[in-house]
Amino acid sequence: MKRVRVIPTLLIERGRLVKTVRFGKRTYVGDPVNTVRIFSDKEVDELMLLDISVAKAGSEPDFDLLREIASECFIPFGYGGGIRTLEQARRAFDSGVEKVVLNTALHRSPTLAGKIARMYGNQAVVASIDVKKGLFGGPKVMTECGSRRVPGEVTEIARNAVDAGAGEILLTAIDRDGTFEGYDMDLIRRVTSAVDVPVIASGGARGVPDFLAAIKEGGASAVAAGAQFVFKGPHRAVLVNYPSQAVLREGLFDHLGPEDIVA
């Protein structure tokens, strides 16, 4: 048996929690502080909070909201969205965040990951890489919440992020986001074989069997999911949920052995 992180990813838009489909259509999910409290009570290993409104607007992260969230969050959490400077990262850490998540800044300020890593350690820097399937020429890396294409191949961008100082990679398949179609296994394999830091698989997970596949077959070190943990049933009714430890043990942890590189 081996434990692996099963991480809910929560999206903040102008102070509210939403869930997207393929980074587009949004469904209102609830109040962030309240929802985080529920996940914390459910003994989740770790949370990722991504503010999808500040990145595009170019505004400051909502540090007051982060502090409020931290006051109810008794588990480690990462924050991404609008972090462009070391000072903003420092304020995020001071607000109670364990890790900062960089996406657009990886390309706009290539030295930022390193600056943060030197002060807080590379375990505190997550590179978020959003990938869209191209009709030709393989997957495309996108920034600014999937709206802007950046040149370069995904494995090269992942390696550069690690060289720059990122301690792990949050790898999201945009085409699978919110679809319940399963992870993009090719993409996961491609990136996990190119870098030696933990890769967190994200985008499309339906349930525990998908988590197991991402680790066993994809080589991921941790798994993330969004829609699965906030919707229930065929009509996608909003209901915060998380598998019990017994379900995770039986469906996931018990199947992992020394050969699986988890973190």
Partner 1 sequence: MTTGAITIVDYGCGNPASIRNMLKKLGIKATITSEAEDILTSERIVFPGVGAFDHGAESIREKGISEALEQRVIRDGVPILGICVGMQLLGRRSDEGKLPGLGWIDGDVLAFDRSRLGPTDRVPHMGWAMLDVKQPQTALHGFHEEPRFYFVHSFHMTCDDPADVAATAHHGYDFCAAVASRNILGVQFHPEKSHRFGMTLLRNFAEGKTGAE
185-192 vs 208-216: helix crossing angle, rounded to 10: 40
Q: Which positions from 215 to 254 touch partner 1 by CB under 8 A, shown as an x/- string?
A: ------------------------------x---------
What is the distance between the alpha carbons of residues 144 and 81, in angstroms, rounded to a whole number?
Answer: 9
> What one-character DSSP code corresponds to residue 194?
T
Q: Which is nearer to partner 1, 98 or 210 (CB)?
A: 98
Q: Look at strands 47-51 and 199-202 and give their pairing.
A: unpaired
Does position 123 interact with partner 1 (CB under 8 A)? The reply is yes
* Number of residues assigned to the chain: 263
Is residue 103 within 8 Å of 80, Cβ to Cβ?
A: yes
| Segment interacting with partner 1 (CB under 8 A) among 42-50, 81-89, 149-157, 206-214 | 42-50
In the residue annotation, 175 being an active-site residue is answered as no
Q: Which is nearer to partner 1, 67 or 159 (CB)?
A: 67
Closest to 35 in 3D by CA, of 3, 9, 4, 6: 9
Does position 74 interact with partner 1 (CB under 8 A)? The reply is yes
Does position 72 interact with partner 1 (CB under 8 A)? The reply is yes
Q: Which is nearer to partner 1, 40 or 160 (CB)?
A: 40
Q: Provide the minimum distance between the beta carbon of 44 and partner 1 in the complex, in angstroms, as a whole number.
A: 8
| Segment interacting with partner 1 (CB under 8 A) among 73-81, 107-115, 127-135, 182-190 | 73-81
Residue type present at position 222: A
Does position 3 interact with partner 1 (CB under 8 A)? The reply is yes
Does position 184 interact with partner 1 (CB under 8 A)? The reply is no
What are the CA-CA distances from residue 205 to residues 27, 127, 177, 179, 189 (Å)?
18, 20, 8, 8, 16
Instruction: Catalytic residue, from 51, 62, 130, 210: name it.
Output: 130
Q: Provide the minimum distance between the beta carbon of 159 and partner 1 in the complex, in angstroms, as a whole number.
A: 17
Kindly calculate the radius of gyration of the chain based on its CA atoms and give it in whole angstroms: 17
Give backbone dihedrals phi and psi of 228, rounded to 5 degrees, phi first: -55, -35
Please give the structure tokens belonging to residue 132: 């869209």
Identified binder of partner 1 from the candidate list 24, 121, 134, 209, rule CB under 8 A:
121
Identified binder of partner 1 from the candidate list 29, 70, 126, 129, rule CB under 8 A:
70
Q: Which residues of 164-183 are buried (b: 16+ CB within 10 A; e: fewer)?
A: bbbbbbbbbbbbbbbebebb
Identified binder of partner 1 from the candidate list 13, 51, 98, 177, rule CB under 8 A:
98
Please give the residue ranges that form the binding site for partner 1 (CB under 8 A).
3, 5, 40-41, 43-45, 70-72, 74-76, 94, 96, 98, 121, 123, 167, 245, 261, 263
Instruction: List, by residue number, the catalytic residues.
Output: 130
